[in-house]
Amino acid sequence: MMTQYIARSSRIASRLLEGEMIVVSAEDSALFSLNEIATAIWLAADGRTPLREIVEQRVCAVYEVDPETALRDAEELVRGLCAHGILLTSDRPFPEAV
Amino acid sequence: MLPGSALPAIQVILDIGDLPIGLRTADSGFAGMLQARYAGFVTPGVRPAAEFDIELVSPETMSPDDDLRVTTVAGRWTFERGDFRAEFDPAVRRGHIRQSASPYAIDSVLRIVHTLLLAGTGGFLLHAASGMRNGRALLFAGQSGAGKTTIASLAPNDVTLFSDEVSYVRRLPEGYRSYGTPFTGELAKPGANRSAPVGALYLLVKGGANRIEPVGPAEAVRRLLENILFFARESSPVVQLLQTACEFVSQVSVYRLTFLPDARVWEMIV
């Protein structure tokens, strides 16, 4: 299976408030609100850590969840955030990792 | 005189939010329309913080269906829609507006100009009704249909209406201050040219009973962001916008106001 890396777009503004990540896109001023687990993944999106590892360390180690289910959910989340341009994905580490 | 015009320009200065903007036109009919439409906000003799020359063109030369676009190139702003095209150089605070004689075009331009001028100072225009009661400004935010006009129309006599549609908020050293605006909604009644410190922000929800509940910072910031007028498409203003919303919420009490379309709701609002 291909290794997937994720990084936050530089064209956003974000702020963590009461465990909820608020993200505003500079592309279209769209507003996103991430729940606790999505926030954990978002914060770990450093462009160097594979998504699978992020899920293991930030999700499975904290919440009682089956690793494959967690990874599937995380991939769906990543697809959604990438579609809005606020998260970037690659099959190799990002050269200028955040 | 306006560039390319043989006629002397008439300048109408509109002081909205303590930010006077001079509008110069060679068309006396258009100048008269500005003076009538913004009557409470016309302040001759004040030094404008920004000036615009207005060039009126035939509506046939415009593309009325074009959506609004705001761009910044080399520090100069350009904002255009089907019924206007405006440029503004914030360095010299001068600009040019090419528009049909429609009052809606100049109204939109003014909203955009104020939004852009306020953005760098922590202030903003908000989709909100507002009014002053007991020396404090009260903001009632919500998108179309949330009840802004309703809450404004139910306001008792001791409330000075600031707007039923777009509210004006500035960040001053002593705190946030809201100003009346001539920007009207369905009520079609300009606000009073007055101002007051912001006392509270109410997020409007129509419901089966009148109820006020405090709102946590995350929801408050989300809802505030949904209602702030914002036009930029760049990273830096977006970062600033989020900072502005967070700062406002840290200083101003935010409540969810669920209400019936009934004047008794104002008994809960002090």
| Other beta carbons less than 10 A from residue A93's beta carbon | 14
Interface A:B, Cβ pairs < 8 A: 52
- Does the global pTM surpass 0.95? no
Residues in chain A closer than 8 A to B242 (CB atoms): 13-15, 22, 24
Instruction: Tell me the residue range of the domain where B154 lies.
Output: 124-268
Asked whether residue B5 is assigned to any structural domain, the reply reads no
The structure tokens listed for B13 are 């200065």
What does the pLDDT read at residue B187? 76
Residues of A near B (CB-CB distance < 8 A)? 10-15, 17-20, 22, 24-29, 31, 33
Helix, strand and coil content of chain A, in percent to the nearest 5, comes to 35, 30, 35
Write down the pLDDT at residue B194: 97
Alpha carbon distance, N-terminus to C-terminus of chain A = 24
- Is B167 in the same domain as B221? yes
Question: Is residue B59 a part of any domain in this protein?
Answer: yes
Residue B7: which pLDDT band, with cuts at 50, 70 and 90? low
Task: Pick the last residue of a domain from B119, B151, B169.
Answer: B119
Position B257 confidence tier, pLDDT thresholds 50, 70, 90: very high
Contact between B168 and B181 (Cβ < 8 Å) = yes
B130 and B257, same domain (yes or no): yes
Which CATH number fits the domain that encloses residue B152?
3.90.228.20
Is residue B37 predicted with pLDDT exceeding 70?
yes
Q: Quick check: B246 and A26 CB within 8 A?
A: no
Chain B interface test: which of A14, A16, A20, A22 (most B C-beta within 10 Å): A22
Quote the pLDDT of residue B160: 97
Strand partners, B169: B124, B178
| Structure-token match 């101002």, residue found | B195
pLDDT of B2 higher than 70 = no
Domain final residue, candidates B79, B103, B119: B119
Which one of A9, A16, A20 would you mutate to disrupt binding with B, by most B Cβ within 10 Å of its Cβ?
A20
pLDDT-based confidence at residue A29 (cuts at 50, 70, 90): confident
Do B72 and B183 share a structural domain?
Answer: no
- The string of pLDDT tens digits covering residues B179-199 is 999 998 887 888 999 999 999
Tokens matching residue B175 = 């705190």
Using the predicted structure, report yes or no on whether residue B3 has a pLDDT greater than 80. no
Together in a domain, B136 and B114:
no
Q: What is the pLDDT, as a whole number, of residue B67?
A: 82
pLDDT digits (tens, 9 = 90+) for A48-93: 999 999 999 999 999 999 999 999 999 999 999 999 999 999 999 9
Same domain, B222 and B202: yes
- Label residue B177 by pLDDT band (50, 70, 90): very high
Local confidence band at B34 (pLDDT 50, 70, 90 cut-offs): very high
Tens-digit pLDDT profile for residues B100-151: 998 999 999 999 999 999 988 999 999 999 999 999 999 999 998 999 999 9
> Could you tell me if B156 and B26 lie in one domain?
no
Chain A residues whose beta carbon lies within 8 Å of the beta carbon of residue B239:
13
* Structural domain ending residue among the three candidates B119, B142, B168: B119
What does the alpha-carbon distance between residue B92 and residue B132 come to, in Å, rounded to a whole number? 34
Contact A33 B225 (CB under 8 A): no
Cβ of A24 within 8 Å of Cβ of B225? The answer is yes
Which of A23-27, A56-60, B61-65, B71-75 has the highest average model confidence (pLDDT)? A56-60
Q: Choose, out of A8, A24, A25, the residue to mutate when testing the contact with B (most B CBs < 10 Å).
A: A24
Beta carbons of A69 and A82 less than 8 angstroms apart: no
Asked whether residue B76 carries a pLDDT value surpassing 80, the answer given is: yes
Residues B163 and B252 in one domain: yes
My answer on whether B77 and B129 are in the same domain is no
- Total of domains in chain B: 2
Question: Domain check: are B223 and B149 in the same one?
Answer: yes
- The residues, any chain, with a CB within 8 Å of residue B60's CB and separated by 6 or more, are none
What tokens were used for A18?
């009461």
Q: Give B235's contacts in chain A (Cβ within 8 Å).
A: 10-13, 26
pLDDT at residue number B186: 81
- The residue that leads in pLDDT, B270 or B33, is B33
More confident residue, B245 or A98: B245
Q: Within this chain, do residues B248 and B216 fall inside the same structural domain, yes or no?
A: yes
Number of H helices, E strands in chain A: 3, 6
B219 belongs to a structural domain? yes
> Could you tell me if B180 and B91 lie in one domain?
no
pLDDT of residue B188: 81
Note whether residue B4 is domain-resident.
no
Q: Give dist(CA A12, CA A23) in Å, integer.
A: 7
Q: Is the pLDDT of residue B206 over 70?
A: yes
**B246 part of a folded domain:** yes
Lookup: tokens for B83: 């019924």
Contact B235 A26 (CB under 8 A): yes
Q: How confident is the model at residue B233 (pLDDT cuts 50, 70, 90)?
A: low
Distance CA A63, CA A73 (A): 13
The answer to whether the Cβ–Cβ distance between A18 and B218 falls below 8 Å is yes
The mean pLDDT value of chain B amounts to 92
Residues B110 and B160 reside in one and the same domain:
no
